[in-house]
Structure 1
């Protein structure tokens, strides 16, 4: 059975299945779906939870042993498997296929990861789990569907938002549903009557959303020009020192240049391991490395150096327009672009 994440609760209320496959590009939906399933499972006596990350260090025998640890006093168990960003290869597929026949009524399996390809959804292991399981689609709403999602979220929090407020919330967070969800929770506390107008939302977002240089860097890595420029405008308005931004960006560009060079002899996962990239940051770095070749990275570093010299020597000339230009050029997908001299 296949459902969207917003239909998961209805499905759970009809009874638990042996397995749940949570796949999609929206981390909030994956996280909330996992929480819903484990809460429902706990209410039905699944007391033990075993979590495994599928990587090179995983001993699959540990996973298989959880399914086979049967006794009169054994507790019902939840097994969670986190699929790596690199996806499911042939070795992982074989192990998952071996796991499927070991499931029974005292085991509930949750497999979560990023969006699957059509080929992966046609694989033997995937079809095997769907025989008595549920595939929960955790895709990010597109621009047209996002306001509808915001409206549904407001209803859950007993918020009454008008059309302009919903539109502003959708545009302000630019697809970051974690941040959007947190903003709605803050708004529910800020306005106990639950009424959200455009003016109220504008005032609240301006007051509560304070960005740092690291938010700007994340937007640059992700290639989101509108968000990056909005953060930059707020940082300028708050009076952050230009040199702090330039130093932060210099560190990231230096690492990206090194990572780009390393990709000549290593896989992307090996590069991430070598530079100890956090799991939550891998998507951002993957986006930057896919978008920016070595020539553009070196050009950005040269432009950054010139901007720093200007900031330190020409006190009557603002460096902010150059940083804005650098922001746009780092976010663009046009590899033929050459940084200004």
Structure 2
């Protein structure tokens, strides 16, 4: 059974699940999911937690041994397993498959026990790991909870839910400011809400009261910059690039991502100019349904001549990053973002921002 974070509370209320699989890279959702699952289990009498971490020397047989052992301390146990890597190796694969088979035998009977709960968690799963037989068997027994970054358009609803839970009363202006400052960093935003709740309780909080207390901790990654570029939000791209520079991101990582995306946009626009349909282009380049609106905007607003100029500029930026230390690569990448949509204006300017 596969669910998402916003379905967790309802799923817990539906009854006992012997296995929970929580995987993803968004830290707030992971911490929150594990805390909510354990808190619910505790109310049901699960008072003992046995923790394992699958490092390089981990003995996978311990999981099956622990499941079969009788507890000396509590009648109901949570066995928590942190997978430090989703590549569990042959020994891990065999042991987990044996565990899945044993759990399937025990929990599909008429008198299935409800005294042991497994929680597996780790980083985002790749497709190969999610298709492993042991993983599929465990997810059929319980719940697989993949964690994804919350998109900007979903942030207002998330923030409203969090303020309601904390009984924090913030103004609409403060709501918008918090989303702008903490986009991409839910963990820091949740901590900020806790601080506001502690300082103001349930009384209304204006932007003037909160602004001096708020630290800018928004965190972005190169792929979010690309999404902003596809939306045509060059101003947002520049804000993100500035933040990434302050965080010390290596320019080479950004250059690689931009280079790959701009070359793909060139190929897509070139095919579109030759009469190919958008549907076929999406299929060829494996564009997910969720991302099609982004590409539809980009492909209808970016001119082929401008993407050619951008290709030339990213090549020059790549060369400059490897041969000179006199240039601020992040400024050059900001120029690149503008060139994608307004190349006819930037063509007159060189990249010599020294």
State the TM-score, normalizing by the size of structure 1: 0.61
Alignment of 1:1-341 (within 5 A): 1-70=1-70, 75-85=75-85, 87=87, 92-103=92-103, 105=113, 106-205=115-214, 209=215, 226=239, 229=242, 299=321, 303=325, 325=328
CA distance in 1, matches of 2:353, 2:91: 47
The C-alpha deviation readout for 1:184-208, integer Å capped at 9, x for no partner, is: 1111122223423333332331xxx
The C-alpha deviation readout for 1:35-68, integer Å capped at 9, x for no partner, is: 1222222233323222222232110122221011
Question: Quick check: 2:3–2:144 contact (8 Å CA) kept in 1?
Answer: yes
Alpha carbons of structure 1 residues 47 and 74: separation in structure 2 relative to 1, 3 Å = closer
Question: Quick check: 1:54–1:84 contact (8 Å CA) kept in 2?
Answer: yes
SS at match of 2:40: helix
Match of 2:301 in 1: none
1:78 Cα deviation from its structure 2 partner: 1.2
CA RMSD of aligned residues (A): 4.1
1:98 Cα deviation from its structure 2 partner: 1.5
CA distance in 2, matches of 1:333, 1:38: 48
Question: Quick check: 1:160–1:196 contact (8 Å CA) kept in 2?
Answer: yes
CA distance in 2, matches of 1:69, 1:298: 62
151-160 vs 128-137, which deviates more?
A: 128-137
1:223 Cα deviation from its structure 2 partner: 9.1
Question: Quick check: 1:220–1:331 contact (8 Å CA) kept in 2?
Answer: no
CA distance in 1, matches of 2:150, 2:31: 16
Alpha carbons of structure 1 residues 162 and 74: separation in structure 2 relative to 1, 3 Å = closer
Question: Quick check: 1:82–1:111 contact (8 Å CA) kept in 2?
Answer: yes
Question: Quick check: 2:81–2:120 contact (8 Å CA) kept in 1?
Answer: yes
CA distance in 1, matches of 2:334, 2:57: 35
CA distance in 2, matches of 1:232, 1:203: 24
CA distance in 2, matches of 1:328, 1:86: 37
Question: Quick check: 2:30–2:147 contact (8 Å CA) kept in 1?
Answer: yes
1:228 Cα deviation from its structure 2 partner: 6.8
Alpha carbons of structure 1 residues 25 and 232: separation in structure 2 relative to 1, 3 Å = closer
Alpha carbons of structure 1 residues 100 and 183: separation in structure 2 relative to 1, 3 Å = same
CA distance in 2, matches of 1:91, 1:166: 49
Number of residue pairs the alignment of both structures matches: 259
- Structure 2: segments with no counterpart, 5+ residues: 107-112, 226-237, 254-316, 338-350
- Structure 1: segments with no counterpart, 5+ residues: 234-244, 257-294, 307-321
1:34 Cα deviation from its structure 2 partner: 0.9
1:87 Cα deviation from its structure 2 partner: 4.5
CA distance in 2, matches of 1:136, 1:92: 21
Alpha carbons of structure 1 residues 333 and 178: separation in structure 2 relative to 1, 3 Å = farther
